[in-house]
Structure 1
Amino acid sequence: MTVAPPNILTVAGSDSGGGAGIQADLKTIMGLGCYGMSVITALTAQNGLGVTGISAPEPDFVALELTTVLEGFPVAAAKTGMLFSAGIIRAVAPILRRRDFPLVVDPVSVSQSGSRLLEEDAVTALCEEMLPGCDLLTPNRPEAEMLTGMKIASLEDAAAAGEKLLAMGPKAVLIKGGHMESSVVVTDVLCRPGEEPKHLPQARVDTTNNHGTGCTLSAAIASGLGKGLPLEAAVAGAQRYLNRALRASYAPGKGCGPVNHAAGLMPA
């Protein structure tokens, strides 16, 4: 008897270059044995050299995408990525608050090439509407600095930022360590209320083909949660998947290449 894979939903922007956003999420979800569904919040014209344009649908249409998916599919877990505008955030947040599945919020604000993917006036909406009640918030260092207003230069700073973010309402916070200065390891810091911050190190991979790492990690965590894994096990599994994808990364075109989402399907 065939067992159906869990349905994992991504609410994010499209990357025409295929390395990040919706495309990275769906590749990750499938690579981890789940079924992927998508709500597209914005179209981006981009490649490995950068983002040349962004076009977003009306917030009501994004909300319609979301309600239509939720009416047609049982969702095991979801993630959000690029939400782009305050209008889109305020349209989808009330729908997601009625969910009965885990939600990972990746507060995407700037692309790997430096282009802004979250409008400045949307930051408040993100904090007010998306952070409270989400099961996991996954900011990198610049995103955590943006949300907290503090500088993060050490693991101790990351833990302090995590505590500050927990006060905004998420059930857990994972401060990603890829932007921290270390030539040997990348240490993510997992913070949960009433617990000591937990350091989760991985060997740093020497590659410039790291487009889509944050999208990949959050989609992998959502996939693990959708399979019923406890949070820490889902994070650890996602770290392993991303590390393997980084080790197999390559550049399919000009500029920064993506991680290799098929690495999980290859022999070890």
Structure 2
Amino acid sequence: MEAGSQDTQYEIRSTKYCLGVYQCPTVGHGPNSHLHHPILPANVDGPLLTVDNLVKQYDTGGDEPLTVLEDLSMTVQEGDIVAVVGESGTGKSTLLHLLGALDRPTAGTVRFEGEDLFAKSDDALAAFRNRAIGFVFQFHHLLPEFTALENVAMPALIQHRSMDDVTPRARELLDLLGLADRADHRPGTLSGGEKQRVAIARALMNEPALVLMDEPTGNLDARTAEPMHREIERLSRDIDQTFVLATHDPSLADIAGRAYRLEFGQLHDLDPTDEMAPTSPVSDRESRTP
């Protein structure tokens, strides 16, 4: 790649990445445009994330809509690891999409540090999402033509920042995740576990307040998944990172400070002594207990 075209190529590819994962923010242009994006609401006392009576329905073309989430309420405190456990098709991904402002609910509210997310315009949501939320998916979604270092930098490149500007942060994250010696390797030369750690580093690139993980170890075997569980736990402890995890694997819930089972559109406290059998639905009042 010619040096003179490098930043242009990064911008083209970061656009490809954010269209697939975030939706590109359209606020501002140029190398300093990230300074003008709405970043985070002002800090207030209380939970990082508050969900009240969330409903998500889909039109199926029939007489009744398909209700995936129904009157769902929860809170997430700063520094928490919260796990949502459920079988495929129970609405875990739908819930994460709403928490991450990738979709809008049919009813109910999601408040981030007290601010109603869905009172924002689509453009403001996209800018907020890129700065405040990190995403990790079951499949890593790394761009194969770029190195691990460049992939980690993508969320910052979306903000039109230069590679020179963001490289120190990207290297720091790879080092944090034990991948310093893999920085210049492309995804095709990395193991499954290494690819997923690169994806975690990428999610942390913009120092998000919240990282949402959708089946983060679902594509890994048990031997590789266990160290990943410990890695998530360590990041929560060492850098006070807040995580919400959606998984069908109850062992991932073991690292969570609070774990729920999602069933019939509602959250239930996960009872580890009863093979994940749900207790009574989490009420609005109970969900606000730290």
TM bin (shorter chain) = 0.3 to 0.5
| TM-score, scaled to structure 2 | 0.31
| TM-score, scaled to structure 1 | 0.33
Question: If you compute each CA radius of gyration, which structure gives the higher value, 1 or 2?
Answer: 2
Between the two structures, name the one with larger relative contact order (CA 8 Å, sep ≥ 6).
Answer: 2
